[in-house]
Amino acid sequence: MAKVDSGQQTTTSRFATSLMDMLERVEYRRVRLDEQFDPVYRLRYQAYRREDGIAINTDGIARDHLDFTPNAMCHGVYIDGVLVSSIRLHFATAEHRHSPCMRMYPGLLTAMLDAGKTYIDPSRFTADREATLAIPALPFLTLRIAAMACEYYNADYCLSGVRDEHAAFYKRVFGSTEIAGYSQYPGMNFPVKLYAADVSDIRNRVADRFPFFMSTPQERNAMFGPDPDAHYLGLIQPTARQAALAEERFVPAQ
């Protein structure tokens, strides 16, 4: 992520500074998607059942066939050692086309991949109810994982199937734009629209405004790198402060 020299450093907002401080309490975990009773699956189920988003099942878990595709990955977010949220990602390419958005918008996204473009498709963003109430910034801490994935895989776009009530967030934070209208993922009880963010267009702007989204190559490799058995062994520490200071993007208010 190359720093654009504007001739002066802008003081980082209090909000972004507070998120950078919050990351000191955050850890990430790579999830083994083949483990049926991983806590992340239970967290998903509880979150979707609160909103009647999925049907009841006796196992008390939420997962589908897209958890087992070669391009799928999932991470849990921990604060003070407690699982508070999770997110699943797919990196879609011409070779590996599986993703939730592809199921809803096959014509549009098939053409995109046929043209040689790639995208990250974040889905299954779910959170603990108490943590959601106590930590309003939890979506930022969780979607930081998607930002890191875009950087690691050098994706062209970050796509999102977005509910109407969440659209303003994606527009404001990521500069996402609506590229397709309503659709509904099989098994879910709410409609979404398709939003896309052009990674090369927004990368520097997002990093300047929200430097807590930044990361070092070492953190990204731990999150997404090959040899997953080695990376599943422990929790991963965020490196946003180190990365942002190295590129002179983080100037906290005095």
Nearest to 26 by CA among 99, 92, 74, 83: 83
175 vs 188: CA distance, rounded Å: 26
In a domain, 41, yes or no: yes
Q: Considering the domain boundaries, does residue 2 fall inside one? A: no
Taking 80 as the threshold, does the pLDDT of residue 254 lie above it? no
Q: Among the listed ranges 61-75, 123-137, 226-240, which one has the minimum average pLDDT value?
A: 226-240
Q: Which among 14, 73, 67 is positioned nearest to 209, based on CA atoms?
A: 14
Q: Is 113 a member of any domain?
A: yes
pLDDT digits (tens, 9 = 90+) for 128-166: 999 999 999 999 999 999 999 999 999 999 999 999 999
Q: In 10 A of CB 88, how many CB atoms?
A: 25
183 strand-pairing partners: 192
Task: Answer with the residue of higher pLDDT: 223 or 49.
Answer: 223
pLDDT for position 63: 85
DSSP conformational letter for 215:
-
Confidence band for 17, pLDDT divided at 50, 70 and 90: very high
Does 227 fall in a domain?
yes
| Cα angle: 239, vertex 244, 250; to 5 degrees | 125
Is 9 within a domain? no
Instruction: Tell me how far apart the alpha carbons of residues 225 and 230 are, in angstroms, rounded to a whole number.
Output: 10
| Structural domain contains residue 1 | no
Is 75 inside any structural domain? yes
Domain assignment present for 5: no
Contact call for residues 99 and 92 (beta carbons, < 8 A): yes
CB 242 within 8 A of CB 217: no
CA distances from 176 to 40, 171, 211, 249 (A): 27, 5, 18, 22
In the structure, what pLDDT confidence band is assigned to residue 2 with cuts at 50, 70 and 90? very low
Range of the domain at 78: 14-246
Residue tagged 């967030």 (tokens): 169
- Angle at CA 61, nearest 5°, toward 149 and 235? 40
Number of domains the chain contains: 1
CATH number, position 149: 3.40.630.30
Confidence of residue 186 (pLDDT cuts 50, 70, 90): confident
